[in-house]
Structure 1
Amino acid sequence: MNDFIRVAAVAGAMLGATPVLAADPPTSPIWHEQKVKNYLPHMSWPEVADLLMRSDLVIIPVAAMEEHGLHGPIGTDFLNSNEEAKLIAQKADILVAPILLPGNSPYHMGFPGTISLPAETIQKVYFEAVQSLIQHGFKRFLLLNGHGGNAATTRFIVDRVNQETPGIAVEVGEAIQPYLAKMRGAEGAKPPVAATPVFDRHGGTPETSSSLYLTPNLLDMSKAKTAPLKLPEHMQKMLPQVVAEDPTAKLVFLAEGLKAKETGKKTSTREMTATGVWGVADFASATAERGKANITRRVDATVQFIEAWNKLRPSGTK
């Protein structure tokens, strides 16, 4: 008997009434999810059919299940891309269709909990899922990649959809670049988050800030910390140029960095950092406000792209 029912029973007895004990609600005590508009797992088939009358466009998060330091959930990439897609769909009235939780993350396998699938498996599953949606009447597809390691796979899925089906697909990151550039131009130059830029990538302050905005109760910031990076000597030497965003240095650094242990490059996450965070930025600069600003820009840019696409090719176009 919970405390509320016990108090009610005692009060009733004191008033001379026969206590009536209410039964606990017949629902799961851990279920707290609210129905989200246009989110496929929450929808009935008539709701999907109704949406098809308004839009033939689907946004599909391409996710991953991998370590995110001592403080972040394994599902960060799935959760954040999913939540971003939901926010877009509230403004653009399109379908959100999550397909897979894991992605391609072999370089994080040194940390318990990471699940990594081959790129071949990932692209096949997403491609076949798109084929199902095409059969129902959806024709246009936005792939929202939430994990850098899925970039090549996502581009291949997009190309397969365009080359092999009646559907039309684009990748969100590429699609929104012109709109983000316009926003930056309108806002003017902004001061850097840190006075002195430092290397700050996987599991670092940008990603953590987004999580603090999108899924705040799933992080434990009391455990957030970095560790000294152990990079191959030649990569350590080029690090200042990478931090300064030199395009050549960044390209060759990322071509070699963050690769599976089996490649012998000595750049799997476990070989470079004890915490799983690939960066050295102070987590004090990770804030929900920073995450909100970043996600809001991306959401608004995606909505602007969708609006432009709808004008160029309205829903229902043969």
Structure 2
Amino acid sequence: MKNTNWLKEMSWTEFDERRKNCDTVIIPGGAIEVYGPHMPLGSDSIVSAAICELVAQKVNAVIGPMIEVGESASLYQFPGTVKIMPETYAAITRDIMNSMIKWGFKNFMFINMHAGNVPIIGQIAREYQREYGIHCAQIDWWRFTQPNTTDICKNSGWMAHGHASECGTSVMMYLHPEYVDTTKIELVKAQNPKFGKFPDVVTYYEFRDNTYNGILGDATLASPEKGKAIVEKCVNRIVEFMKFEFGC
């Protein structure tokens, strides 16, 4: 079924009409990388598309091109992971923004599912705000869910919000249960004894040093009911911000 908010699904005449009364664009961002043995490599991109659609239903915004791969170098030891270089990601982001600015868009909301993309987007957003007078914001989704779901997830910290753990698995169970193999869901504590000992210090361990299968945390606590609660609460929070900040 055609989604009238996706740029890629509009004809050029439909888009030309839409942009007359819309100056906000949502840019989905994801990754192709290990996401446990129970979920697909494209989980971040799949979730990003779904969240963008839910947000766009509640605001006046066009969903722009998805940046489907990300800076996933730390997960490159797991088969199937695709990484792109930071400068490549930056170039793609700039080109998309340049095009959308040309067509009159002034507000950019990045709904990004992969932590490795966050600093790249942030650097460009600040630069473009100064240069073009536009407004930018970014949702670092899996970090964004943490303060907004303390009443939903049973565990706290990385056990609930670790990679492909309780939160991530719950969200996918709700949005796309067909992609979740429940027979392969596990609890995986960090294999690296140094992990978490100094959480206030930024370190650069390879992801494989902390988990043997791509799960980091307790995915056995996931449920579609939790996923529904997480998605609804977080989508409403994003919508609230966009209406306040962008007036869309």
Distance 1:221 1:98, change over 3 A: farther
CA contact (8 A) 1:211 1:219 kept: yes
Map 1:161-200 onto structure 2 (within 5 A).
Answer: 161-173=128-140, 190=151, 193-194=154-155, 199-200=159-160
Match of 1:241 in 2: none
- What is the total number of aligned residue pairs between the two structures? 244
Percent identity between matched residues is 27
Kindly state the Cα deviation for residue 191 of structure 1 after the two structures are TM-superposed: 7.0
Report the TM-score when normalising by structure 2: 0.88
1:109-154 CA-partner distances (Å, limit 9, x unpaired): 1111110111111111111111011111212111112112222112
Distance 1:228 1:157, change over 3 A: same
3-state SS of the aligned residue for 2:111? strand
Query: What's the C-alpha RMSD, in Å, of the aligned pairs?
Result: 2.5
User: Are 1:278 and 2:216 an aligned pair?
Assistant: yes
CA contact (8 A) 2:159 2:165 kept: no
Distance 1:223 1:65, change over 3 A: same
Gap regions ≥5 residues in structure 1: 1-33, 239-248, 260-266
3-state SS of the aligned residue for 1:172? strand
Tell me how far apart the structure 2 counterparts of residues 192 and 79 of structure 1 sit (CA, whole Å).
Answer: 21
Tell me how far apart the structure 1 counterparts of residues 158 and 53 of structure 2 sit (CA, whole Å).
Answer: 32
Tell me how far apart the structure 2 counterparts of residues 99 and 166 of structure 1 sit (CA, whole Å).
Answer: 23
Tell me how far apart the structure 2 counterparts of residues 162 and 142 of structure 1 sit (CA, whole Å).
Answer: 13
Match of 2:111 in 1: 144
Tell me how far apart the structure 2 counterparts of residues 295 and 139 of structure 1 sit (CA, whole Å).
Answer: 27
The code of the aligned residue for 2:212 comes to A
Distance 1:225 1:50, change over 3 A: same
Gap regions ≥5 residues in structure 2: none
Match of 1:103 in 2: 70
User: Are 1:218 and 2:160 an aligned pair?
Assistant: no
Map 1:125-144 onto structure 2 (within 5 A).
Answer: 125-144=92-111
CA contact (8 A) 1:84 1:299 kept: yes
CA contact (8 A) 2:26 2:61 kept: yes
Work out which of the two has the higher radius of gyration on C-alpha atoms and give 1 or 2: 1
1:230 to 186, 191, 196: 191
CA contact (8 A) 1:59 1:143 kept: yes
Distance 1:202 1:166, change over 3 A: same
Match of 1:298 in 2: 234
User: Are 1:94 and 2:61 an aligned pair?
Assistant: yes
Tell me how far apart the structure 1 counterparts of residues 106 and 157 of structure 2 sit (CA, whole Å).
Answer: 43
CA contact (8 A) 1:140 1:167 kept: yes
Any runs of at least 4 consecutive aligned residues in structure 1 with deviations exceeding 6 A, and if so which?
A: none
CA contact (8 A) 2:191 2:210 kept: yes
Map 1:112-131 onto structure 2 (within 5 A).
Answer: 112-131=79-98
1:245-279 CA-partner distances (Å, limit 9, x unpaired): xxxx4332xx21xx4xxxxxxx3222322111122
The code of the aligned residue for 1:90 comes to Q
Kindly state the Cα deviation for residue 157 of structure 1 after the two structures are TM-superposed: 2.3
Tell me how far apart the structure 2 counterparts of residues 55 and 120 of structure 1 sit (CA, whole Å).
Answer: 30
The code of the aligned residue for 1:271 comes to D
2:224 to 288, 302, 308: 288
Which structure has greater strand proportion? 2
Kindly state the Cα deviation for residue 90 of structure 1 after the two structures are TM-superposed: 0.7
Match of 1:13 in 2: none
